[in-house]
Structure 1
Amino acid sequence: MTQDRREFLMKSCGALSMAAIATQMGHLGLMSAFAQSGKNDTVEVPSDYRALVCVFMAGGNDGNQTIIPNHTVGSSNTWDNYNNARSSQGLALTQAQLAGTTVQVPRIGNLDYAFHPSLGIQTPGTNIVNNGLHELWALGKLAAVTNVGTLVQPMTRTTFLNNSVPKPFQLFSHSDQVSQYQGGRSDTQSFTGWGGRISDLRSAIDNPAPPALIPMITSIAGAQLFTAGQSTLPMAIAAAPTSLATVLAPSGFNLPTVPTPGSTIANRYNTLKALRDQARLDPSKYVDAAGDVTKLAMDANDALQTNLPVTTVTFPTTNIGNQLKQVALMIKKRSDLSMNRQIFYVQLGSFDTHTGQNTTQVSLLQQMSQAMRAFYDEMVAQGIGDKVTQFTMADFSRTLNPAGTGVNVGTDHAWGNHMLVVGGAITASNFYGMNGANGTPYPQLSFNTADDSDNGSGARGRWVPATSVDQYCATLARWFGVPSADMATVFPKIVNFSNSGGINTDLGFLVPPAP
């Protein structure tokens, strides 16, 4: 083997260092994409585009403070219940504070419920670029899936307290509950994520490579279980303002945004391309494979360097705003990358508000609302508002009973939580999920009642979920294109959640895909 060939093989590995999630060998994501080549000979590739965008609220967002009853008559679950539990320690929001983000919920008799004020219109200022998520309710583009949580099988307060059904593994533990939300199973530890398992099942069908140039799933927030598959690996890239021209740049070539034709850097890059093509003629399968993978990486890099996209909508320059902006830019390059289906992961941290919640959560929800709304508006501007769905996940919710008082007031780890879904494919703005013990999908905000997993004088309000993570996420997967026959592969315990019509993998909050 000549020195040039040895250098080529070294560059073949170096050219693919894209900050891969599972290892530091960034080429593996593209190798897994390339490995799907030729596997779709008898399957029709979809002609449309769809994307799922997971927004993870790391630390566990307080759902009790995110969606709040704002009626005082008409049900047994009113603002008074909420206020009685939280006002004495300084955590309750007044009805006047909630007036601007109050909506009527058809599922619960058109009674008034309110989103946290941070999801509404904000005082103009830095990183306030839109009217927030609340406004999308009236447009039919925002839904809430309420009292969602990790479950092995359906559970009630009674079965929880008498231990008659299996409980989620290490309930109330941050790391374990994150693993169960991202892994899509609550009975044991998982080493793959449900996003990654969708990629395993669907990459060869939806995004055959070639022509697809990158993996189906991308993280803008580093290594995450959600994105890890068994046979496919994800890609991880930096958030904006990092240019797409550099996120896949071959290692060792120090490419600028666009290499100047004739420059030393450009000549080195073109030489590598030529060596790559020459190596693919070598009878060695290893060299041929290296050439194939390198070609995929270089083609992806070239695609991202050509006609760099810009967003039509202004994004906030917050951490979550920059992550979602980068997702929007990647989606804008979907045709150049030959992508029909994509899954993205972004994350906003610091929701573990044991103290100082009135300051911390207010800021975090505002950042999330502004960024998710900007992203939705950008998808509409790109003409694919109904093809891209954002959804939230979190470790768990927080206790109804606060911890501490005054400026130090916070909340502790709880269970059932409320999730938001945003996009043009929303069936209708409403609350979704299974009915709990009170006959609605929203839990009773009172201690020691039928929705509370706590018992006795020390009860703090940790809701037994009425809807499992499996059901919530299976609804998203179904819309994405995962057939019913494959649901148990993606969500191994989904078979435990059935109704009279069979396994319940559709909560109804997304318009089903066309047959």
Structure 2
Amino acid sequence: MIRKHLIDRRPLRRDLLKMAGGCAALTNTSLLSTLFSLSATNAAVAANDLSGYKALVCVFLYGGNDSFNMLSPLTSGEREDYLAARGGVYAPGNGALGLPEDGLHTITDTTNGRTFAIHPAMGDLKTLYDAGDLSFLCNVGSLVEPTTMNDYQSKSNLPLGLFSHADLQRHWMTSVPQTRSQVTGWAGRMADMISDNVNTNPNISMSIALNSVNMLQTGGSVVPYIVTSSGASEVNWYGQTWTQARIYSELTDDVLARSYSNLVEKTFAGANRNALDAAIEFNAATDAVTLNTTFRTNGNALASQLEMVAKTIGARTQIGQSRQIFFVSLGGWDNHDELIDNQQVNLGRVAEALKDFYDATVELGVQNDVVTFTASDFARTLNSNGRGSDHAWGGNQILMGGGIRGNRLHGQYPMSLAPGNALDLGRGRLLPTTSVDELACELAMWYGVSNDSSMEAILPNIRNFPTAGGGAYPIGFLA
């Protein structure tokens, strides 16, 4: 039997409003996001073609992936230079970081015949590469403009805070590396521009992030909708049928339906109402998607995240979105020590998750409409510190999708990694030869954004890079 004082509406209403003090009690959409949208104006749409469906999936590897072990050279002479830079072939306790040749997965760059090795833990990527569905973008990093060794030495127009985790993560996401004051990301600014034309759902953003807010997807009016690997977070008890839950649901509906004269209170209540309904709608849509693809999620958080991405793509029509941007992430890459062992585990997780996700896009029939790309703070020093590697700059990233020009490497993999090579800033920190801007520009063009003033609004530095002008893709990794 329920005691009367437990259902006194007046104190419960007050308590419910107090509970809502940090939006988490009733919603997973922040009040700050709502207040952003109050002052935002719709950006003018300038796009080549927004027909059909397309999705971008960013896999961010937090901490700085040592990507010259993920993809290492095998061509005669180049292999020896790599080993010289890495201090020789790794053996327990010897401090070297070079991978032994046994177990490496050999691939060939069909544009020039150079041979490379994919890390032993990433056999799944070789399968995708050989099938033409995966490639690598080489020696890419955040740049304000094309930068020479002389520019670096004279400190001419360099990204702020080079070799810093916080700064280089920010620069990857904003593509404005000359400042720390930028609060929107290039994908968020792109979503601002096109969201009204591709998203018919007012409550669920076209930008969907797994488990965390990120700057990449944050725009002036469009911000990420945060979900977990299990779906959107719903309010406990709400919508259930047992007695106290029905009372709680009734009180929640009552509070959120009230008329408020104060703008902040009104906005807050409206945002919570929308978010509560959105969570229920999102979960109903994704729960209805059945995948035959088996994701290897045991101990692999990235695979769990990408499984939810696949389900969300499968529910795109029910959600009401013809363009989606996803952000997933995996930490554990800041390997100043125990690099070899840590990479064996983490790179294996990445390879399994990417292969399973690609298979799911094939099952869904959207493999040509989804581009997945990795990003990371920076690469790491080729030189060993005795146990691992330290913060560097230019590195290699993965590109995956049915529309990728596979069986080849894109950008410029250095012809030599030997100590003191033409790009070596010291300790094997490599000067990038391809910019994040060029990568983002090609992705945006494929997504439907015109390479004109619209692109400049998304990527303010894009005209600093001569190859990024006109109608052709600046790098050419997309067919």
Q: Is the 8 A contact 1:149 1:416 kept in 2?
A: yes
2:459 to 491, 494, 509: 491
1:500, distance to aligned residue in structure 2 (A): 9.5
1:480 — aligned with what? 447
Whichever residue aligns with residue 488 of structure 1, its letter is: E
3-state SS, counterpart of residue 419 of structure 1: strand
Q: Quick one: structure 1 residues 32 and 330, their matched pair in 2 at CA, closer, same or farther if it must change by over 3 Å?
A: farther
What are the ranges of 5 or more consecutive residues in structure 1 without an aligned counterpart?
Answer: 121-131, 436-440, 455-459
Tell me how far apart the structure 2 counterparts of residues 333 and 385 of structure 1 sit (CA, whole Å): 15
1:234 — aligned with what? 224
1:202 to 170, 190, 194: 194
2:435 — aligned with what? 468
1:128 — aligned with what? none
Identity of aligned residues (%): 29
Tell me how far apart the structure 2 counterparts of residues 133 and 45 of structure 1 sit (CA, whole Å): 31
Tell me how far apart the structure 1 counterparts of residues 343 and 25 of structure 2 sit (CA, whole Å): 33
1:117 — aligned with what? 120
1:223 to 205, 213, 221: 213
1:394 to 376, 395, 401: 376
1:276, distance to aligned residue in structure 2 (A): 5.9
The question of 1:413 aligning with 2:381 is answered: no
Tell me how far apart the structure 1 counterparts of residues 262 and 415 of structure 2 sit (CA, whole Å): 63
Q: Quick one: structure 1 residues 139 and 33, their matched pair in 2 at CA, closer, same or farther if it must change by over 3 Å?
A: farther
2:6 — aligned with what? none
Deviates more, 1:492-501 or 1:383-392: 492-501
1:156, distance to aligned residue in structure 2 (A): 1.9
2:401 to 403, 423, 443: 423
The question of 1:369 aligning with 2:351 is answered: yes
Q: Quick one: structure 1 residues 396 and 285, their matched pair in 2 at CA, closer, same or farther if it must change by over 3 Å?
A: closer
Q: Following superposition of structure 1 onto structure 2, how do residues 90-105 of structure 1 map, counting pairs within 5 Å?
A: 90-98=96-104, 101-105=105-109
2:203 — aligned with what? 213
Q: Following superposition of structure 1 onto structure 2, how do residues 167-182 of structure 1 map, counting pairs within 5 Å?
A: 167-182=158-173
2:420 to 438, 445, 448: 448
Whichever residue aligns with residue 471 of structure 1, its letter is: E
TM-score, length-scaled by structure 2: 0.84
Tell me how far apart the structure 2 counterparts of residues 61 and 333 of structure 1 sit (CA, whole Å): 32
Q: Following superposition of structure 1 onto structure 2, how do residues 140-159 of structure 1 map, counting pairs within 5 Å?
A: 140-159=132-151
Q: Is the 8 A contact 1:17 1:27 kept in 2?
A: no
Q: Deviations over 1:124-176 (max 9, x none)?
A: xxxxxxxx22210111110111010111111122332344x311111111111
The question of 1:138 aligning with 2:130 is answered: yes
Q: Write out the 4+ residue segments of structure 1 that deviate beyond 3 Å after TM superposition.
A: 2-20, 27-47, 259-264, 266-277, 282-296, 499-505
The question of 1:249 aligning with 2:234 is answered: yes
3-state SS, counterpart of residue 313 of structure 1: coil
2:293 to 313, 324, 327: 313
3-state SS, counterpart of residue 133 of structure 1: helix
Whichever residue aligns with residue 81 of structure 2, its letter is: N
1:64, distance to aligned residue in structure 2 (A): 1.2
Q: Quick one: structure 1 residues 334 and 117, their matched pair in 2 at CA, closer, same or farther if it must change by over 3 Å?
A: same
1:81 — aligned with what? 81
Tell me how far apart the structure 2 counterparts of residues 431 and 177 of structure 1 sit (CA, whole Å): 24
1:183 — aligned with what? 174
3-state SS, counterpart of residue 391 of structure 1: strand
Q: Quick one: structure 1 residues 270 and 34, their matched pair in 2 at CA, closer, same or farther if it must change by over 3 Å?
A: farther
Q: Is the 8 A contact 2:41 2:221 kept in 1?
A: no
2:245 to 241, 265, 269: 265
1:292, distance to aligned residue in structure 2 (A): 5.5
Q: Deviations over 1:246-294 (max 9, x none)?
A: x2424xx534xxx5557553565367558867x58x9998887667545
Q: Quick one: structure 1 residues 66 and 276, their matched pair in 2 at CA, closer, same or farther if it must change by over 3 Å?
A: same
Tell me how far apart the structure 2 counterparts of residues 38 and 496 of structure 1 sit (CA, whole Å): 27
What are the ranges of 5 or more consecutive residues in structure 2 without an aligned counterpart?
Answer: 1-8, 90-94
3-state SS, counterpart of residue 134 of structure 1: helix
Tell me how far apart the structure 1 counterparts of residues 428 and 343 of structure 2 sit (CA, whole Å): 19
Tell me how far apart the structure 2 counterparts of residues 396 and 270 of structure 1 sit (CA, whole Å): 51
Q: Quick one: structure 1 residues 504 and 335, their matched pair in 2 at CA, closer, same or farther if it must change by over 3 Å?
A: closer
Whichever residue aligns with residue 338 of structure 1, its letter is: G
Tell me how far apart the structure 1 counterparts of residues 141 and 435 of structure 2 sit (CA, whole Å): 5
Q: Quick one: structure 1 residues 286 and 8, their matched pair in 2 at CA, closer, same or farther if it must change by over 3 Å?
A: farther
Tell me how far apart the structure 1 counterparts of residues 305 and 190 of structure 2 sit (CA, whole Å): 22
Tell me how far apart the structure 2 counterparts of residues 234 and 34 of structure 1 sit (CA, whole Å): 16
Q: Quick one: structure 1 residues 305 and 57, their matched pair in 2 at CA, closer, same or farther if it must change by over 3 Å?
A: closer
Tell me how far apart the structure 1 counterparts of residues 46 and 382 of structure 2 sit (CA, whole Å): 53
Q: Deviations over 1:377-428 (max 9, x none)?
A: 1121112112222111111111112120xxxx21111111000011112133
Q: Deviations over 1:339-371 (max 9, x none)?
A: 121111111111111111110111110011111
Tell me how far apart the structure 2 counterparts of residues 30 and 325 of structure 1 sit (CA, whole Å): 28
Q: Is the 8 A contact 1:50 1:387 kept in 2?
A: yes
The question of 1:60 aligning with 2:64 is answered: yes
1:18, distance to aligned residue in structure 2 (A): 8.2
Q: Deviations over 1:183-218 (max 9, x none)?
A: 21221112222222222222222214xx34301212
2:318 — aligned with what? 336
Tell me how far apart the structure 2 counterparts of residues 12 and 42 of structure 1 sit (CA, whole Å): 42
3-state SS, counterpart of residue 113 of structure 1: strand
1:481, distance to aligned residue in structure 2 (A): 2.1
Q: Is the 8 A contact 2:65 2:378 kept in 1?
A: yes
Tell me how far apart the structure 1 counterparts of residues 371 and 120 of structure 2 sit (CA, whole Å): 23
1:70 — aligned with what? 74
The question of 1:403 aligning with 2:400 is answered: no
Q: Is the 8 A contact 1:182 1:194 kept in 2?
A: yes
Q: Is the 8 A contact 1:150 1:177 kept in 2?
A: yes
Q: Quick one: structure 1 residues 27 and 425, their matched pair in 2 at CA, closer, same or farther if it must change by over 3 Å?
A: farther
1:106 — aligned with what? 110
